[in-house]
Every structure is written in C-alpha cells, then in structure tokens.
Amino acid sequence: MVVTRFAPSPTGYLHVGGARTALFNWLWARRTGGTFILRIEDTDQKRNTPTAIRQVIDDLRWLGIQWDEGPEAGGPNGPYLQSQRRDIYDKHIKQLLDEKKAYYCFDTPEELDALRRQAQNQKKAFSYRRPEDFPDAEDAKKARAKGRSVTVRFAVPQDEPMVVADIVRGEVTFAAGEIGDFIIQKNDGFPTYNFACVVDDYLMKVTHVIRGQEHLMNTPGQQALWKALGFGDFPKYAHMSVTVSDTGGKLSKRERPKAIRKAIKAMQDIDLEKLAEAGSISLEELEAFINGKTAVDMPCIDAMAKHLGAALPEINIVDFFKSGYLPETMVNFLGLLGWNPGDNREIMPVDELIESFDLSRLTKANSLFDRQKLLAFNTEHIRIAPGEKLLQHFKDYLKAIESPAVSADSRLLSKIIKICEGARTLADIERKSRFLFLDNSQIKYDDKAVKKVLLKNDGLAVLTTVRDKLAAMEQFTEQAIEDMLRCLAEEKQVGLGKVAQPLRVAICGTTISLSIFNSVEMLGKEKTLARIDNTLKKVKKDTGCSMLDTRKNGE
RNA sequence: GGCCCCAUCGUCUAGGCAGGUCCAGGACACCGGGUUUUCAACCCGGCAACAGGGGUUCGAAUCCCCUUGGGGCUACCA
C-alpha cells in the first residue's frame, strides 16, 4: 500500500513549487489507490506565521487536492502538526542519546560561524568535529544552567559511503565522511527538520518520499538516522526537478523575499524607516531581513512591495486564483512541469492525469514556469469546462475579487460566460461585463478610448445618431439592435466598428466589452440612453474645459 | 570554496535506460496571412534545437570521458 505525504512548513501561502510537490504526491497516491497525508512541519518557532496553515489548507482545497490524513481530516497517525508531536521526538532523541548515537553540544552560533569561516578559508567542506567523549545529561543540565545553548547532534557514521537509491536520479553516492554530524534538536527543544521528518515518515508509514531536488543532500543523513533508529527499510525516494523562475533561481517562497531584497538594494536613496513602517516592522527587523538573516511575514512582504512599487513574482496559488485561472488549469499545468504521459497529450482533466501518472516518467531537468503556456492552458480549460462548474468558478472568483457582479444571479452569469466564448481568464469575462453591474454614475471613462473613439473623426456625431435610433426602437432585442447598427453602418458607408465603438465607450467607458449587441441589449434601453447622454454631456464639457485650461496656462 | 544534480527549438517536452525507423515529433510563444463590432477566440502557413570537444561503434541526440553552462545544498530553515 502506497503512502505519500506533502509536508509544507507553514510560512505563507502555498506557492506553485509546493503545489506541484503536493500534486505529484497526491497523484501517485490516487493512481495506486494509496493514502495521501498532509503533515504540517511547524518546528521553526521563528518563521511560522499564524494564518499560514489555514492558507495552505485553503489553497490545496481550491486545487482539489484532498488529503486522506492530516489536519481537519484526522487519521490514525496524528497529530499531523509537528509542533504537537514534541513528546514523540523527545523519546526518539533520548533513544539515540542513550545509545551514544547522538550527543549534546554547547557551541554558540558565533563559535560555529567561526569554524565555518575557517573551513571556507581552507577551501574545505565544513564538518563538525565530534568530541572524543560525549557529554552526558548532567553536563547538559549544567550548561543550560549557565545559560549556554544546548543542542543535540546526530553522530553520522563516517566509515562507509552512503548511497541514495532515487527513482528519478538512480543511485547517488556520497563519499564516506561527507555528511557531518548535524543538529537534530535545537536549543529551544524543537527537533530540526531532518529529524522530525524521519521520525514522522516512519511512524506515518510513508512509502514514497516525493519532494524537490533541494532535499537530495538531506537524504543520506536522513537515511543514516533511519538506520540508527532501527526503522528498517527506507521509504522510496523521488527527488523531482525544481521549478525555476525566469529570473533564474528556484521558484519558491524565497523568491518573493528575494525580489524585495533586490528591489531595496537596487534603489539608491531609500527611506528604510518609512519602509519598515509600511511593513509594520521595526527598523532592526527590516535590516536583519535585508541581510537575509530573518524572514518576515507575507503581508509584510506585500506591504513593502506596494510601498516600493516593486513587482513581485506571481508565485502563490492564490495569485492565480485572483487572476482568473481555473484550478483545473493549475493542476494540469503543474502536473506537466517535470512529468508527461509519454505521448502528445497536454490538456488533460484530472482523472486522466491520475490514470496516466507514473513516477518513472518524472523528468530530471529543472523547468521554467511559463506564464504564456499557462494562459493557453487556461483558455482551453475554460472552453472545455462544463457550464455548471465554470459558473461556480466564476462566482468564487467574483467573490474573491469583490466584483460588483458578485450579486448577479446564475442565469445572467451563465449568459455572460456563454457570450465570452474564447476568454482566456475569468478576469477577462469579469472585465468585459463589469459595466453591466455599475451604476450609471460609476462609469469611468478611459482617456485613450475617449480620445481615439469619440474625439476622433465624427465619433460624437455618430453617437448622437445612434442615440436617436436607439431611442426610437420599440423592440430592444439583440437582433433588432444588430440590424439597426449594421444598417446605419451601411448607410454611412463605414465599417461596423465606426458606429459600434463610440456606443461601446459611451456605455462602458472603455473599448473592451461583450459583443456590442449583447452589451446594449443586456444593459437595457433606459440605462443605455442615460449613459449616452451622460457621455455626450461629459465629453463636451471636458473638451470645453480643457480648451479653457490651455488658454489659462498660456497666459 | 566543498559536495550533489542537470543539459534536445525562446519555453515545456517526446525520443535516451534496450544506438540505426530522428537531416529530431508535439505544444506554447514568435513571424506571415485569413476571419472580425472591441478584447479574445478561431483557421491556414512559416521560423526554430540535440551546449562544445574527444572517444566507443559499421552507425551516436541516444553509451563513456572532459570542458562549459545552469541549478541545489553547504543553518539551532524546511
């Protein structure tokens, strides 16, 4: 029986890299009829943010990735938050200590830093020098009493090479002595990732560890721990390629802080105090962050980015939700990043993904997250999505972005969706239909559109004519409107655009909307006429004023 | 610096492990044309890659080595 797990550290929203890892684990469990576990690795007291678990859960749910065991779902191997499993880790650490397979250390961070620098200078890899005699519990007690930092290190066997059998990469060998003794329990009593992960994977009976390549170097150490704890056979490992951003590095939660740091450094005279204020942190915290010493909370990152006017890479799953992407798109696209079914299929519903998924087809090379291809996928998924489903997605989207269309009824929304055939994102649909849900007074005129369509040629005159014709219409149907506009265009010996565009700008304020016939019909006669009148009034007034203004400035 | 991973069109990739069927296939992007009431969508056509060098072999995208390039790790982060 296959058991996989996704084990995020809750430091922010779920990003696309994490989502892909979760997806592959989930696909493999579904494919094999196994179990998929969600485990929260919240062992770092400094970095965890209070709302992050909720965010990760929501994002996974949105994607449709359901876990069989984990927070909220429960299960026989809980608790699923590592912070609630302290006693379990303590027990295993004591076991290693008793068996002399681990030992106490009392070094300060400064001392360790110095040792590392020394190794660097000698062009050697840093490896912690294991003491001849291990301090005992009594020594640890004394050290603690004296205020020294107390950690526990695992004595990694140094006598033979270590081999990781990896599904993606084959056998990866590490020379004997390559992996130094590493810390398994921190001064604050929490286990480190490398320890908690091993204990939990064993206790949760995980059979397949599918994770990013960044963990490959952790694996020999984890395997050694596994052995030392007497856990028996290792799980199978699959270290996936990582997804990189177009700026080069690993596409991860580190990307956004990285981008901010870069932006800060790139700016010459920057007011750090104001920036800290914008992020609601202290100046010291900000400086520590800039130097890469500490992490800051997500909202803080966002706030600082806004303050700086810096564009952050859009890497969180929620970003894509709010940009109008479908979960089906994300699942399909992410699934094809570093995996493929072996034939030319690309657009696949999730069932097909599950059916075709196989760990043996994971690719080795890192891949770039291509937004344009994602857009193409989204276009296609919008096209093939069943009406009901698409409607629900659209409603969720409207709510998330607080669109004025949020209160519209299902019938109307369905009609709008249908009219928008060929839309690339839900945002496209919303943008094109938004004008229907605004009050007449809320219409904002796009300057460019007004200039290009109304002020050029005889846009205003055409609009006036159109107004009169519309006013005279008894049947205000889509067909009647179309007939009238086409007829008028023919009469005037111009393209339909020449009569349609001024009308469009008048009722929407922009040059982009639903098809003009639909736009007018759905808005209704009364509002259409009112908006045309408003437009005529406003444009005439504005042009008059602007002429006055220029004259004033000239004098 | 040390260790590890990776390398096919601009991008995601098929082909590689079982060498000939590959003067390298698909998709996105791009370019040209068509359709068109806006934005899209759609239709037709086109451009475009085996990182470089050395081996092995009758034969190499495929196997081996080196170089170069990219990425990861090198934390009391995960």
**What interface predicted TM-score (ipTM) does this complex get?**
0.95
Residue A284 — very low, low, confident or very high, per pLDDT cuts 50/70/90?
A: low
pLDDT tens track for A103-133? 999 998 888 888 888 888 887 888 898 988 9
**Residue A247, pLDDT score:** 63
Å from A36 (CA) to B68 (C1')?
A: 42
- In this predicted structure, the answer to whether residue A553 has a pLDDT above a threshold of 50 is no
- Residues counted in chain A: 555
Residue A272 — very low, low, confident or very high, per pLDDT cuts 50/70/90?
A: low
- In this predicted structure, the answer to whether residue A539 has a pLDDT above a threshold of 50 is yes
**Residue A218, pLDDT score:** 96
Nearest to A495 by CA among A482, A485, A484: A485
Identify the active-site residue in A253, A448, A451, A540.
A253
Å from A320 (CA) to B41 (C1')?
A: 21
Contacts of A284 (CB under 8 A, 6+ apart): none
* Tokens, residue A285: 């915290």
**Residue A519, pLDDT score:** 96
Cβ atoms A531, A440 nearer than 8 A: yes
Whole-number percent of chain A with pLDDT over 90: 68
Q: What is the mean pLDDT of residues A406-410?
A: 95
- In this predicted structure, the answer to whether residue A293 has a pLDDT above a threshold of 80 is no
Whole-number percent of chain A with pLDDT over 70: 85
DSSP state of A452: I
Cβ atoms A253, A11 nearer than 8 A: yes
- In this predicted structure, the answer to whether residue A335 has a pLDDT above a threshold of 70 is yes
A517 closest-nt by C1' vs CA: B37
A24-33, A409-418, A480-489, A512-521 — which is least confidently predicted? A480-489
Task: Tell me, yes or no, if A253 is annotated catalytic.
Answer: yes
Quote the longest CA-to-CA distance of chain A: 101
Nearest to A7 by CA among A183, A166, A206: A206
What is the Cα–Cα distance from A20 to A366, expressed in whole angstroms?
13
**Residue A109, pLDDT score:** 85
CA separation (Å) from A70 to A8, A11, A227, A284, A317?
A: 12, 18, 26, 37, 20
Question: Nearest 5 degrees, angle CA A320-CA A265-CA A372?
Answer: 25
- CA closest to C1' of B2 belongs to A125
Residue A455 — very low, low, confident or very high, per pLDDT cuts 50/70/90?
A: confident
CA separation (Å) from A14 to A8, A255, A344, A375, A405?
A: 9, 13, 29, 20, 28
Protein-covered nucleotides on strand B (Cβ within 7 A):
1-8, 10-15, 25-30, 36-42, 70-78
Partnered with residue A5 across adjacent β-strands are A37
> What integer best gives the mean pLDDT of chain A?
88
Cβ atoms A7, A215 nearer than 8 A: no
Residue A314 — very low, low, confident or very high, per pLDDT cuts 50/70/90?
A: low
* Tokens, residue A72: 């909220």
CA separation (Å) from A40 to A53, A226, A250?
A: 8, 20, 22
A337 closest-nt by C1' vs CA: B12
Contacts of A277 (CB under 8 A, 6+ apart): none
What is the Cα–Cα distance from A503 to A517, expressed in whole angstroms?
10
- In this predicted structure, the answer to whether residue A549 has a pLDDT above a threshold of 50 is no
Å from A240 (CA) to B70 (C1')?
A: 16
What is the Cα–Cα distance from A279 to A296, expressed in whole angstroms?
9
DSSP state of A236: E
Q: What is the mean pLDDT of residues A30-56?
A: 91
A11 closest-nt by C1' vs CA: B78
DSSP state of A235: P
What is the Cα–Cα distance from A425 to A430, expressed in whole angstroms?
9
- Bridge pairing between strands A102-105 and A151-154: antiparallel
Å from A497 (CA) to B74 (C1')?
A: 63
Q: Is there a cis peptide before residue A79, judged by omega within 30 degrees of 0?
A: yes
| Residue located via tokens 């699923």 | A80
**Residue A537, pLDDT score:** 86
- In this predicted structure, the answer to whether residue A73 has a pLDDT above a threshold of 90 is yes
DSSP state of A404: G
pTM for the predicted model, two decimal places? 0.88
pLDDT tens track for A132-190? 899 999 999 999 999 999 999 999 999 999 999 999 999 999 999 999 999 999 999 99
What is the Cα–Cα distance from A436 to A519, expressed in whole angstroms?
8
- Name the packing angle between helices A387-400 and A410-419 (round to 10°): 100
Return left, alpha or beta for A39; rule: phi > 0 is left, psi -120 to 50 is alpha, else beta. Answer: beta
**Residue A113, pLDDT score:** 87
DSSP state of A40: B
A218 closest-nt by C1' vs CA: B73
Partnered with residue A40 across adjacent β-strands are A81
Contacts of A437 (CB under 8 A, 6+ apart): A403, A404, A405, A407, A408
Would you call A37 helix, strand, or coil by DSSP? strand
> What percent of the residues of chain A are helix, what percent strand, and what percent coil, each to the nearest 5?
55, 10, 35
* Tokens, residue A413: 């929304």
